[in-house]
Amino acid sequence: MSTSTPRASGEPSIQQELTQLASLRAVHAAFSWFQVHENELLRLQVEVARIPAPPFGEAERAAWLRERFTAIGLKQVEMDEVGNVVGIWRGRDPQRAAVAISAHLDTVFPAGTELAIHEERDRLLGPGVSDNASGIAAMLGIAMAFRYAQLRNEADLIFIGNVGEEGEGDLRGIRHIFEKSPLRDRVGHTIVIDGSGTDAIIGQALGSRRFELIVRGPGGHSWSDFGQPNPIVALSRVISRFSQTPLPASPKTTFNFGVISGGRSVNSIPENAQVSIDLRSASADELQRLEDELRGVIATEISTPVREGAPVKLSCELRKIGDRPAGDLATNSRILEVIRAVDAHLGIQSHMRRASTDANIPISMGRDALTLGAGGSGGGAHTLREWFDPAGRSLGLKRILLAVLALAGVES
Ligand SMILES: [Zn+2]
């Protein structure tokens, strides 16, 4: 499933397959649907962006999507136990490995953020309009075009609006799909739609592990208890020592100490101090090596007395707050072959990118998956000034549709 099968001579090349696909009358009908229904897509995008979906608070947006899925006529529409919404567009051959099309529901914006979504000139403005209201609109656009054009796909299409992509959501929605859900074994290929754009192929998963290190001690008065171990000093030693860890330039590997806090007042020995740490690498092995190194530094530095002869009373806890696996899509994978052929057909100059997206999960499991943009263009992601420009959206949608069809197979 994840590698391409060698072609017998006389069989059409993937490029010929695509030319054939794109010449089908039903495909033309789907393409023109995208053009004619731009206003409807825009309306759906505004509507969904106005529904709050903070991390761990996607329920209202999920309920909205469930209604849309049902209205389109998807089958077996349901919300699973973690809050993902799933619906199926039946193919003619349910035995064939299904194609999953997913878009994350959540945003980075905390509950209570004012979602002032509005149009200004030709742009849509407001938090989450691009990441990922454009992805959700694209997913719905694909489903609606299938219905309108009566495309006869062979494999089932599984549409997924998933929770928990951003931040501490830690990919929990898509992880559930591939680790626990009964859909797990039915999915053969996965296209994740995330954010705007038409020219990127994200087939390389950027891995990250995130921790919070908490150091605790007895605390005390800065004068009368002087000599008691100080958590801030111990934490600083960990930061200083770990920062000297040599890193490979390739595969690119990085670390960051992002937030530090602790202590009560200038004349108190603190009872605790904490720091958040972000480790990233293109390689799963390097990521593990970096984590081992961090644990080693903590073990040495926290158990060393702060001052010679002082009692050791510090304790520490390293809490994992995120774990996104790294990985690379095989260069001969079917999905990569398909998207390259689609891009060649549509005249899109695409480039391969490494990023952290929902596709990290299937890619790290050796499955056939990648992330594409929803078309149009956008910017200011994760800020209140986020924007989306729908110009050229239909090209992005044609791209996704052709890839889905090539992967699912279609009755000619
Ligand atoms: Zn996103």
Ligand 1 center to 273 CA (angstroms): 32
Ligand 1 center to 174 CA (angstroms): 13
* Residue 94, token pair as written in the block: 């349910």
Ligand 1 center to 27 CA (angstroms): 28
Ligand 1 center to 56 CA (angstroms): 15
pLDDT (tens place) for every residue of the chain, 412 residues total:
334 445 555 678 999 999 999 999 999 999 999 999 999 999 999 999 999 999 999 999 999 999 999 999 999 999 999 999 999 999 999 999 999 999 999 999 999 999 999 999 899 999 999 999 999 999 999 999 999 999 999 999 999 999 999 988 899 999 999 999 999 999 999 999 999 999 999 999 999 999 999 999 999 999 999 999 999 999 999 999 999 999 999 999 999 999 999 999 999 999 999 999 999 998 989 999 999 999 999 999 987 555 556 565 799 999 999 999 999 999 999 999 999 999 999 999 999 999 999 999 999 999 999 999 999 999 999 999 999 999 999 999 999 999 999 999 998 6
Neighbours of 184 (CB within 10 A): 13
State the burial class of residue 39 (Cβ atoms within 10 Å of its Cβ: 0-12, 13-18, 19+): exposed
Ligand 1 center to 132 CA (angstroms): 5
Instruction: Pick the closest to residue 44 from 131, 135, 123 (CA basis).
Output: 135
Contact 332, 175 (CB under 8 A): no
* Residue 345, token pair as written in the block: 């057909």
Ligand 1 center to 169 CA (angstroms): 12
* CATH architecture designation of domain 14-205+327-408: 3-Layer(aba) Sandwich (3.40)
Ligand 1 center to 326 CA (angstroms): 17
Which amino acid would we find at residue 322?
G
Q: 207-324 — its CATH code?
A: 3.30.70.360
Q: Do domains 14-205+327-408 and 207-324 have the same CATH topology?
A: no
Ligand 1 center to 194 CA (angstroms): 5
| Domain extents in the chain | 14-205+327-408, 207-324
